[in-house]
């Protein structure tokens, strides 16, 4: 597989160097692997810190800025960051109002953020955590590591970030972040596997004419393989999988998310099908976001994330945000 | 630890021995990195080899620049280094294994194999608690638990290594219940667990290091280049 890289080992630091040059409004520490708002810590504001393996861009570094995250900690590709990064990030962004860690539910992320929270608290930083676990393709039981955190992470970071920007306290920001996480569900499909730079070949074999249903965002295969379906058939399957678990009784936010290798043209077509299914199921869509936001390197495919929203959450969603990945209202 | 055992034939293991073990582990992980990544592809995310190599190279460097004076301190430094460099689940889990094993060894300048066995049990229990996993979940514990079982029955390090390797191989037919492979449900069956495989590598490096003897070169060789260092910290172990 041809890639626009120098050597596999330097993919993450190379990207961070480029990000620093393209975004002077961010402080990018290539050595410590941190992306921080240049004006951090923001006086009187609760700070949001997230992080995770690289390969999901623009998540998380691309969501650092006013109205969203204060700092992001990129790990190696598909590998959670180490506690040292989150401890440094928390110290850099804490104004004294405390720090919320937004953690996707993967064993590695949970363990490293837990260790970091303990260490940061030892240094006098108040830390709260919210776990994002929205992927309905994984059965949440004692027989699994629990549901994966995927597209809902964007909703949590945007809405909790807006609330923090309005000056809410740590307990309130944490509670709303948890409300968003608990009100969101996702389902993803892959039309091709992704290729990690270190391996250089696709992480699983997906023959032409077949697709994977229920994939995650780390190149891991899904739960089921089927003969290739149309955009409309995929929308039926994905939306019903989400609704079966979410049971919305009011409006939803919809994220039609590309996995990195599917053109926007196809994503908008898929978005139309997602809206068609939601209309047939009598679910009103309050807002829709379409694009490659929570990606899996070069994987082709898409995911659907729905979040039950009320007036307050909608106002926070609409509030201004200025980051490399999401920008409106400013 | 108040053991009655007098260790007449128990080897006394010093800090230099543990440095040699972890250096051998780094070499083994480097040698097998591609294989570990290959195992991690169908049921994980194809990065276990690279992550372990980065961590154990960092351990080797940390121990090389300023080797601590006791077995416990060597393992605790190695554990902290893994936590700070590996990431993923492997960093905290392997880091905890070495840190808690080292902590259990206390500040003794030398430890017996029996003391090491007890400390490893403590370390493995800590991993099980952190991961919330038990035997049969298709994780590194499927190699570690049989190994500490063999040790606590007094079978020695070579037997522990064999038990770990068999345990790793026995993960193939299991359905994963923890970690990223668990997302696959039944599709995780038929693949050997990469974490159990890397755990078996560490145990193999430990057994091989012990088989090489106190000096780290030949069993009877007390004058080799490395024995000077071993002798310095062993402080009259012979």
Q: What's residue B217's pLDDT?
A: 53
Sign of CA dihedral B61, B67, B71, B76: negative
Q: Chain B contact for A80, CB < 8 A?
A: yes
Q: Write the CA distances from A187 to A6, A38, A303, B199, integer angstroms.
A: 34, 35, 5, 34
B31 Cα to chain A: minimum distance (Å): 16
In this prediction, residue B220 has a pLDDT band, given cuts at 50, 70 and 90, of very low
Q: Which residue of B has its CA nearest to A78?
A: B45
Q: Write the CA distances from B238 to B3, B9, B12, B209, B222, integer angstroms.
A: 21, 12, 9, 18, 10
Tokens found for residue A252: 């939803």
Domain boundaries, chain B: 12-213
Q: What's residue B41's pLDDT?
A: 83
Q: What's residue A141's pLDDT?
A: 62
Q: Which residue of B has its CA nearest to A194?
A: B45
In this prediction, residue A89 has a pLDDT band, given cuts at 50, 70 and 90, of very high
Q: Give the closest of B37, B46, B89 to A108, CB-based.
A: B89
**ipTM given for this complex:** 0.81
- Please say whether the beta carbons of A317 and A240 come within 8 A: no
In this prediction, residue A100 has a pLDDT band, given cuts at 50, 70 and 90, of very high
Put simply, the answer to whether A78 touches B47 (Cβ < 8 Å) is: yes
Q: Are strands A301-308 and A26-29 parallel, antiparallel or unpaired?
A: unpaired
CA triple A23-A160-A73, angle to 5 deg = 45
Residue A20, Cβ density class (10 Å: 0-12 exposed, 13-18 middle, ≥19 buried): middle
Q: Write the CA distances from B79 to A120, A178, B123, B222, integer angstroms.
A: 19, 33, 11, 30
In this prediction, residue B6 has a pLDDT band, given cuts at 50, 70 and 90, of very low
In this prediction, residue A97 has a pLDDT band, given cuts at 50, 70 and 90, of very high
pLDDT above 50: residue B68:
yes
A139 Cα to chain B: minimum distance (Å): 8
In sequence order, what are the residues at sequence separation of 6 or more whose Cβ sits closer than 8 angstroms to the Cβ of residue B160?
B147, B148, B150, B151, B203, B206, B207
Q: Is A182 helix (H, G, I), strand (E, B) or coil?
A: helix
Q: How far apart are CA B204 and CA B21, in angstroms?
A: 10
Q: Chain B contact for A244, CB < 8 A?
A: no
DSSP of A195-224: B-TTT-SBSS---TTEEEES--SSS---SE
- Chain B residues near any Cβ of chain A (below 8 Å): 37, 41-47, 50-51, 54, 83-93, 130-131, 177-180, 182-185, 187
What CATH class does A10-183 carry? alpha beta
If DSSP states are collapsed to H, E and C, what string results for A303-328? EEEEEECCHHHHHHHHCCEECCCCEE
In this prediction, residue A38 has a pLDDT band, given cuts at 50, 70 and 90, of very high
Q: How many residues does chain A have?
A: 330
Residues in chain B closer than 8 A to A199 (CB atoms): 37, 41, 46-47
A191 Cα to chain B: minimum distance (Å): 17
Mean pLDDT over B196-217 rounds to 88
Q: How far apart are CA B70 and CA B234, in angstroms?
A: 10
B233 Cα to chain A: minimum distance (Å): 32
Q: Rg for chain A (alpha carbons), in Å? A: 19
Residues in chain B closer than 8 A to A78 (CB atoms): 45-47
Task: Identify the residue among A104, A199, A225 best suited for mutation to test binding to B, counting B beta carbons within 10 A and taking the highest.
Answer: A199
Q: Chain B contact for A10, CB < 8 A?
A: no
Q: Is B12 helix (H, G, I), strand (E, B) or coil?
A: strand
In sequence order, what are the residues at sequence separation of 6 or more whose Cβ sits closer than 8 angstroms to the Cβ of residue B121?
B148, B151, B152
Put simply, the answer to whether B89 touches A221 (Cβ < 8 Å) is: no
Q: Chain B contact for A194, CB < 8 A?
A: no
pLDDT above 50: residue B218:
no
> Taking the mean position of all CA atoms in its chain, how far away is CA B50?
17
Lowest mean pLDDT among B160-164, B174-178, B192-196: B174-178
Q: How far apart are CA B203 and CA B201, in angstroms?
A: 5
Q: How far apart are CA A153 and CA A102, in angstroms?
A: 8
Residues in chain B closer than 8 A to A108 (CB atoms): 87-92
What kind of fold does domain A184-308 have according to CATH?
Hypothetical Protein Tm841; Chain: A;domain 3 (3.30.1180)
Put simply, the answer to whether A204 touches B179 (Cβ < 8 Å) is: no
In this prediction, residue B232 has a pLDDT band, given cuts at 50, 70 and 90, of very low
Task: Identify the residue among B49, B51, B88 best suited for mutation to test binding to A, counting A beta carbons within 10 A and taking the highest.
Answer: B88
For A247-257, write each residue's pLDDT tens digit. Answer: 999 999 999 99
Put simply, the answer to whether A111 touches B90 (Cβ < 8 Å) is: no
Residues in chain B closer than 8 A to A112 (CB atoms): 87-88, 91-92
Q: Chain B contact for A81, CB < 8 A?
A: yes
pLDDT above 80: residue A139:
no
Q: Chain B contact for A66, CB < 8 A?
A: no
For A221-236, write each residue's pLDDT tens digit. Answer: 777 899 999 999 999 9
- Which residue in A279, A281, A262 sits closest to A270, CA to CA? A262
- H or E, element range at A85: helix A83-93
DSSP of B57-117: HHHHHHHHHS--SSHHHHHHHHHHHHHHHT-TTHHHHHHHHHHHHHHHHTT-SEEEHHHHH
Residues in chain A closer than 8 A to B138 (CB atoms): none
Residue ranges of chain A that CATH labels 3.30.1180.20: 184-308
A119 Cα to chain B: minimum distance (Å): 13
In this prediction, residue B45 has a pLDDT band, given cuts at 50, 70 and 90, of confident
Put simply, the answer to whether A196 touches B45 (Cβ < 8 Å) is: yes
Residue ranges of chain A that CATH labels 3.40.50.10440: 10-183
Q: How far apart are CA A228 and CA A239, in angstroms?
A: 17
Catalytic residue (one of A23, A218, A247, A275): A218
Put simply, the answer to whether A79 touches B178 (Cβ < 8 Å) is: no
Put simply, the answer to whether B47 touches A144 (Cβ < 8 Å) is: no
In sequence order, what are the residues at sequence separation of 6 or more whose Cβ sits closer than 8 angstroms to the Cβ of residue A19?
A26, A28, A35, A61, A324
Q: What's residue B235's pLDDT?
A: 38
* Architecture of domain B12-213 in this structure: Alpha Horseshoe (1.25)
Q: How far apart are CA A64 and CA A57, in angstroms?
A: 12
Q: How far apart are CA B143 and CA B122, in angstroms?
A: 15
For B79-134, write each residue's pLDDT tens digit. Answer: 999 999 999 999 999 999 999 999 999 999 999 999 999 999 999 999 999 999 99
Q: What's residue B10's pLDDT?
A: 63
What are phi and psi for residue B81, nearest 5 degrees? -65, -40
pLDDT over 70, % of chain B: 85
Q: How far apart are CA B50 and CA B47, in angstroms?
A: 5
Q: Write the CA distances from B157 to A196, B96, B122, integer angstroms.
A: 37, 21, 16
DSSP of A97-165: S-EEEEEES-HHHHHHHHHHHHHHHHTT--EEEEEE--BTTS--STTSS-PPP-THHHHHHHHHHHHHH
pLDDT over 90, % of chain B: 73
- Please say whether the beta carbons of B53 and B72 come within 8 A: no
Q: How far apart are CA A58 and CA B104, in angstroms?
A: 43
Higher pLDDT, B219 or B189: B189
Catalytic residue (one of A56, A60, A247, A275): A56
Q: Chain B contact for A51, CB < 8 A?
A: no
Q: How far apart are CA A50 and CA A312, in angstroms?
A: 23
Q: Give the closest of A82, A143, A218 to B180, CB-based.
A: A218
Residues in chain A closer than 8 A to B54 (CB atoms): 76
């Amino acid at each position: 597989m041809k890639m626009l890289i120098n050597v596999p080992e330097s993919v993450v630091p190379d990207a961070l160097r480029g990000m620093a040059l393209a975004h002077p409004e961010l402080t990018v520490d290539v050595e410590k692997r941190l992306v921080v708002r240049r004006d951090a810590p923001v006086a009187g504001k609760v700070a949001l810190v997230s992080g995770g393996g690289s390969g999901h861009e623009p998540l998380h570094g691309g969501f650092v800025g006013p109205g969203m995250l204060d700092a992001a900690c990129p790990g190696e590709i598909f590998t959670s960051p180490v506690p040292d990064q989150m401890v440094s990030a928390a110290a850099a962004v804490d104004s004294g109002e405390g720090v919320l860690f937004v953690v996707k539910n993967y064993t590695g992320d949970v363990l490293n953020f837990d260790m970091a929270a303990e260490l940061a608290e030892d240094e006098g930083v108040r830390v709260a955590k919210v776990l994002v676990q929205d992927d309905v393709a994984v059965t949440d039981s004692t027989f699994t590591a629990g549901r994966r955190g995927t597209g809902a992470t964007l909703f949590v970071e945007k809405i909790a970030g807006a609330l923090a920007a309005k000056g809410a306290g740590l307990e309130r920001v944490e509670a709303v972040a948890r409300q968003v996480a608990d009100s969101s569900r996702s389902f993803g499909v892959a039309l091709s596997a992704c290729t990690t730079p270190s391996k250089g070949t696709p992480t699983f074999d997906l023959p032409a004419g077949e697709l994977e249903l229920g994939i995650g965002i780390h190149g891991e295969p899904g739960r089921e393989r089927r003969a290739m379906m149309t955009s409309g058939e995929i929308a039926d399957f994905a939306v019903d999988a989400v609704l079966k678990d979410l049971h919305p009784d009011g409006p939803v936010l919809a994220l039609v998310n590309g996995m990195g290798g599917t053109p926007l043209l196809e994503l908008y077509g898929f978005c139309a099908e997602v809206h068609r299914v939601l209309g047939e199921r009598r679910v009103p869509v309050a807002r829709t976001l379409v694009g490659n936001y929570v990606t899996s390197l070069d994987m082709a495919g898409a995911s659907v994330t729905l979040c039950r929203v009320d007036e307050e959450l909608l106002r926070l969603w609409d509030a201004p945000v200025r980051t490399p990945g999401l920008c409106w209202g400013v | 630890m108040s053991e009655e055992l007098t260790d007449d034939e128990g080897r006394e293991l010093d800090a230099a021995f543990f440095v040699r073990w972890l250096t051998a582990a780094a070499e083994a992980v480097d040698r097998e990195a591609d294989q570990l990544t290959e195992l991690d592809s169908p049921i994980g995310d194809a990065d276990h080899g690279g992550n372990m190599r980065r961590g154990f190279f960092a351990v080797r460097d940390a121990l090389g620049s300023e080797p601590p004076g006791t077995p416990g301190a060597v393992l605790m430094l190695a554990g902290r280094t893994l936590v700070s460099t590996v990431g993923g689940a492997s960093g905290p889990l392997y880091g905890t294994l070495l840190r808690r094993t080292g902590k259990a060894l206390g500040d003794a300048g030398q430890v017996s194999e029996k003391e090491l066995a007890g400390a490893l049990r403590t370390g493995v229990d800590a991993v099980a608690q952190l991961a919330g996993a038990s035997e049969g979940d298709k994780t590194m514990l499927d190699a570690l638990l049989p190994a500490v079982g063999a040790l606590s029955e007094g079978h020695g390090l070579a037997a522990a290594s064999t038990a770990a390797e068999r345990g790793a191989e026995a993960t193939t037919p299991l359905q994963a219940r923890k970690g990223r492979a668990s997302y696959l449900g039944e599709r995780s069956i038929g693949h050997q667990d990469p974490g159990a495989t890397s755990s078996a590598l560490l145990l193999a490096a430990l057994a091989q290091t012990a088989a090489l003897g106190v000096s780290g070169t030949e069993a009877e060789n007390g004058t080799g280049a490395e024995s000077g260092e071993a002798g310095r910290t062993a402080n009259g172990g012979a």
